[in-house]
């Protein structure tokens, strides 16, 4: 039998990438990135130019198909293998990235009548304009003593499905009416590949409040939110919910023509980027925290008991690896904060110097920032540039920097932002560990560990834990390919379980980031300062951030 391969397609925030993987050892034979032609749509709708509200973030569904059109043929070409030898295809996606579709599965924004309506488009995971709905949902769920709430750290995020659906109903009942189903983008892409619609248990569990044993919350709960939503789960959220690794179907002839793959190739059900990364670093047992570090960070951890952890995104049975409770927490902005600083915060002389030296601005700042010792900048920041996902679960929180002086340099501020995100991660680790979900080992994957060793050293020092790094450029995509191989099964040259696939294919680098004791000691003191500020601004002692947001909204609406 000739050598067999699988393809994983990772749909990130700004781009999608395909990776062709050798099934015997997980080696990435070829990869290709397609930047989304429309990027993140957060100012104006394509075409009509209609302005979007504050905190909106949309995407164009055709960008997802563009990734299939460009990146899949590109990896096949680069690898020079026969499409027949690709036995499985898996995808992973940002989540909750959701869209309204009609009876035929067509996104509403593809239809002329809805193209110019902002609610007809894909709402990206970081669309934060449903915070009001999330707040009301949480208050009603708490009042009713809903059992699901503790499984989501006590709060449902405005990033997740129900808050977003409710925002559509409140602001555009006509779009809600015209929607046949609301779907995660990951399930929509799979339905395009296979011609059949199934929902995956991972996004259903983490993002749509679905439970393997209890199903969705009751119609009574949804009716208490809004009587018009009482039957939401049997209608617009209907669809079979199947476990990760299940074969969703086979590649249709149309999609075979579009991708260059063979019709009939096994396609796995959709998955989430961070969750797919876990088996790709070989984590299939409890106690090992995996950080998927990029635009945001998702913290994934397996446990054997269901316990309540403050502000976690969720705990879902079989949500990551079958047989375990999968815990997820996260930070809504990490790389995004560094990017904001590079784009909006550095003086021209930094950009010019970086250009002269032939390095990127991130690298220029990182080189200079690494010359400082912990504590030497005299600065500390709260990492809430895109709200706080865990442990406070509040998208209305914003960023803070304390300690500026006339001598503060851009590289000091950059280092402070790196440190602030590490303190955010430490807060999450402490929450897990303190609640009885042990964190014995830490693994990192995603774009950031590849690009910024200083950042990784700071994380090791702040968390006082050794960090192992994925030996893969595209870990979620490799994980998605592994699930594709499981969908194909061993009879076709794949694997019968994700644990078998991980055993053969997962890879981490030999060198690790180890905590440096003198740094750990200083960061321990800085972390105490961080927690003081965190609780002061984040737990209601001073709601200045929210008052400022209100003033901002009032001023924007009156102009
Ligand atoms: N050298 C660097 N240091 C720190 N952050 C970086 C560096 N280069 C790029 N970034 C950040 O990495 C993020 C993208 O991460 P990546 O993992 O590639 O994407 P995604 O999260 O969309 O999958 C961007 O937010 C960018 O600001
Ligand atoms: O929230 C999740 C997963 O649950 C992520 O998809 C989201 O944070 C986006 O991840 P990226 O930072 O784009 O990798």
Which residues, including other chains, have CB under 8 Å from residue 319's CB and lie 6 or more apart?
201, 202, 205, 206, 275, 325, 326, 328
CB neighbourhood size of 180 (10 A): 16
DSSP string, 483-497: HHHHHH-GGGTS-SS
Could you tell me if residue 394 is inside a domain? yes
Number of domains in the chain: 2
Report which protein residue has its CA nearest ligand 2's atom 4: 95
Q: Residues 459, 482: one domain?
A: no
Give the atom of ligand 2 at the shortest distance from the alpha carbon of 206.
Answer: 4
User: What is the model's pLDDT at position 559?
Assistant: 60
Closest CA to 206 of 146, 136, 159: 159
Q: Residues 432, 494: one domain?
A: no
Give the atom of ligand 2 at the shortest distance from the alpha carbon of 313.
Answer: 4
The tens digit of pLDDT for each residue in 384-408 reads: 999 999 999 998 999 999 999 999 9
Q: Which of 125, 295, 337, 425 gets mutated to test ligand 2 (max ligand atoms within 8 A of its CB)?
A: 125
Could you tell me if residue 460 is inside a domain? yes
Mean pLDDT score, 248-267: 98
The CA 443 to ligand 1 mean position distance, Å, reads: 17
Q: Residues 57, 199: one domain?
A: yes
Residue 557 has pLDDT above 80, yes or no: no
Could you tell me if residue 293 is inside a domain? no
The CA 240 to ligand 1 mean position distance, Å, reads: 35
Reading the block at residue 6, the tokens are 């699988």
The CA 546 to ligand 1 mean position distance, Å, reads: 28
Could you tell me if residue 520 is inside a domain? yes
Q: Which of 11, 95, 387 gets mutated to test ligand 2 (max ligand atoms within 8 A of its CB)?
A: 95
CA atoms within 13 A on the CB side of 83: 17
Percent of the chain with pLDDT over 70: 100
Q: Are 492 and 266 in contact (CB under 8 A)?
A: yes
Q: Residues 161, 274: one domain?
A: yes
Mean pLDDT score, 109-124: 98
Q: Residues 365, 450: one domain?
A: yes
Could you tell me if residue 537 is inside a domain? yes
End-to-end CA distance of the chain: 69
Q: Residues 500, 531: one domain?
A: no
Report which protein residue has its CA nearest ligand 1's atom 15: 294
Could you tell me if residue 236 is inside a domain? no
Place of tokens 């018009």: 228
Q: Residues 503, 529: one domain?
A: no
Q: Residues 53, 179: one domain?
A: yes
For residue 276, is the peptide bond before it cis, meaning its omega torsion is within 30 degrees of 0? no
Q: How far apart are CA 262 and CA 250, in angstroms?
A: 10
Mean pLDDT score, 88-112: 98
**Average model confidence (pLDDT) for the chain?**
97
Q: What range defines the domain where residue 525 resides?
A: 335-466+516-558
Give the atom of ligand 2 at the shortest distance from the alpha carbon of 273.
Answer: 6
Query: Which pLDDT band, with edges at 50, 70 and 90, does 135 fall under?
Result: very high
The tens digit of pLDDT for each residue in 23-76 reads: 999 999 999 999 999 999 999 999 999 999 989 999 999 999 999 999 999 999
The tens digit of pLDDT for each residue in 495-514 reads: 999 999 999 999 999 999 99
Closest CA to 50 of 97, 120, 100, 110: 120
The CA 409 to ligand 2 mean position distance, Å, reads: 31
* Vertex 194: Cα angle to 5 and 476 (nearest 5): 45
Closest CA to 352 of 365, 361, 340: 361
pTM recorded for the entire structure: 0.94
Query: Which pLDDT band, with edges at 50, 70 and 90, does 309 fall under?
Result: very high
Ligand 2 binding residues, C-beta < 6 A: 12-13, 94-95, 125, 272-274, 292, 294-296, 298, 328, 330
Q: How far apart are CA 475 and CA 506, in angstroms?
A: 9
Number of the ligand closest to the Cα of 454: 1
Residue 548 has pLDDT above 70, yes or no: yes
Residue 335 has pLDDT above 70, yes or no: yes
Residue 524 has pLDDT above 80, yes or no: yes
Percent of the chain with pLDDT over 90: 97
Could you tell me if residue 220 is inside a domain? no
Q: Which of 415, 451, 453, 478 gets mutated to test ligand 1 (max ligand atoms within 8 A of its CB)?
A: 451
Q: What is the largest CA-CA distance in the chain?
A: 70
Q: Which of 91, 448, 454, 474 gets mutated to test ligand 1 (max ligand atoms within 8 A of its CB)?
A: 448
Query: Which pLDDT band, with edges at 50, 70 and 90, does 244 fall under?
Result: very high
Q: How far apart are CA 152 and CA 387, in angstroms?
A: 17
The complex scores an ipTM of 0.96
Give the atom of ligand 1 at the shortest distance from the alpha carbon of 476.
Answer: 23
Q: Residues 459, 505: one domain?
A: no
Mean pLDDT score, 66-93: 98
Q: Residues 482, 456: one domain?
A: no
Number of the ligand closest to the Cα of 93: 2
Which residues, including other chains, have CB under 8 Å from residue 265's CB and lie 6 or more apart?
83, 86, 87, 88, 89, 250, 251, 256, 488
User: What is the model's pLDDT at position 54?
Assistant: 86
User: What is the model's pLDDT at position 473?
Assistant: 84
The tens digit of pLDDT for each residue in 175-212 reads: 999 999 999 999 999 999 999 999 999 999 999 999 99
Q: How far, in whole angstroms, is CA 465 from its chain's centroid? A: 23
User: What is the model's pLDDT at position 403?
Assistant: 98
Mean pLDDT score, 295-309: 94
3 state DSSP class of 121: coil
Q: Which of 297, 338, 341 gets mutated to test ligand 1 (max ligand atoms within 8 A of its CB)?
A: 338
Which residue(s) pair with 10 in the sheet?
Answer: 17, 92
Q: Residues 525, 498: one domain?
A: no
Could you tell me if residue 551 is inside a domain? yes
Give the atom of ligand 1 at the shortest distance from the alpha carbon of 293.
Answer: 17
Number of the ligand closest to the Cα of 449: 1
Ligand 1 binding residues, C-beta < 6 A: 12-14, 294-295, 335-336, 338-339, 362-363, 366, 446-448, 451-452, 455
Number of the ligand closest to the Cα of 456: 1
Task: Say which CATH number the domain at 399 has.
Answer: 3.30.420.40
Q: Residues 542, 480: one domain?
A: no
């Amino acid at each position: 039998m000739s050598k067999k391969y699988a393809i994983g397609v990772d749909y990130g925030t700004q781009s999608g990438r395909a990776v062709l993987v050798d099934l015997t050892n997980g080696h990435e034979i070829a990869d290709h990135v397609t930047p989304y032609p429309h990027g993140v749509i957060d100012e104006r709708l394509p075409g009509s130019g209609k302005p979007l509200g504050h905190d909106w973030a949309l995407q164009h569904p055709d960008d997802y198909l563009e990734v299939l059109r460009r990146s899949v043929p590109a990896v096949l070409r680069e690898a020079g293998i026969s499409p027949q030898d690709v036995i499985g295809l898996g995808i992973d996606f940002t989540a909750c990235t959701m869209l309204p579709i009609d009876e035929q599965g067509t996104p509403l924004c593809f239809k002329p009548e809805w193209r110019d309506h902002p609610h007809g488009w894909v709402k990206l995971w970081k669309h934060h304009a449903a915070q009001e709905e999330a707040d009301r949902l949480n208050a009603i769920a708490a009042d009713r003593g809903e059992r699901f709430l503790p499984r989501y750290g006590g709060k449902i995020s405005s990033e997740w499905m129900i808050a977003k659906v409710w925002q559509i109903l409140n602001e555009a009942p006509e779009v809600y009416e015209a929607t046949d189903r609301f779907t995660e983008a990951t399930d929509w892409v799979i339905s395009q590949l296979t011609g059949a619609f199934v929902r995956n248990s991972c996004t259903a569990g983490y993002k749509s409040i679905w439970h393997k044993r209890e199903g969705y919350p009751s119609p009574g709960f949804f009716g208490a939110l809004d009587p018009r939503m009482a039957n939401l789960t049997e209608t617009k959220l209907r669809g079979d919910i199947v476990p990760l690794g299940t074969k969703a179907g086979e590649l249709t002839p149309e999609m075979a023509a579009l991708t260059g793959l063979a019709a009939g190739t096994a396609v796995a059900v959709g998955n989430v980027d961070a969750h797919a990364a876990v088996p790709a670093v070989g984590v299939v047992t409890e106690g090992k925290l995996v950080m998927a570090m990029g635009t945001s960070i998702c913290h994934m951890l397996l446990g054997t008991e269901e316990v309540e952890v403050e502000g976690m995104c969720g705990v879902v049975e079989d949500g990551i690896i079958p047989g375990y409770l999968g815990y997820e927490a996260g930070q809504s902005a990490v790389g995004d904060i560094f990017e904001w600083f590079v784009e909006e915060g550095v003086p021209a002389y930094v950009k010019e110097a970086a250009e002269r030296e032939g390095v990127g601005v991130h690298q220029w700042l990182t080189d200079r920032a690494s010359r400082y010792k912990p504590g030497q900048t005299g600065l500390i920041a709260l990492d809430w540039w895109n709200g706080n996902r865990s442990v406070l679960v509040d998208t209305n929180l914003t960023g803070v920097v304390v300690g500026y002086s006339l001598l503060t340099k851009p590289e000091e501020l950059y280092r402070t932002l790196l440190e602030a995100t590490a303190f955010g991660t430490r807060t999450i680790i402490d929450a897990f560990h303190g609640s009885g979900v042990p964190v014995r080992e830490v693994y990192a994957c995603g774009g950031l560990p590849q690009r910024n060793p200083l950042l990784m050293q700071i994380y090791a020092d702040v968390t006082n834990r050794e960090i192992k790094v994925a030996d893969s450029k595209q870990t979620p995509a490799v994980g998605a390919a592994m699930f594709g191989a499981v969908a194909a099964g061993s009879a076709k040259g794949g694997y019968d379980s994700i644990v078998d696939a991980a055993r053969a294919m997962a890879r981490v680098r030999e060198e690790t980031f180890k905590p440096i004791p003198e740094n750990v000691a200083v960061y321990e003191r800085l972390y105490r300062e961080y927690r003081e500020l965190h609780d002061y601004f984040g737990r209601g002692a001073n709601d200045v951030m929210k008052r400022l947001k209100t003033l901002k909204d009032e001023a924007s609406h009156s102009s």
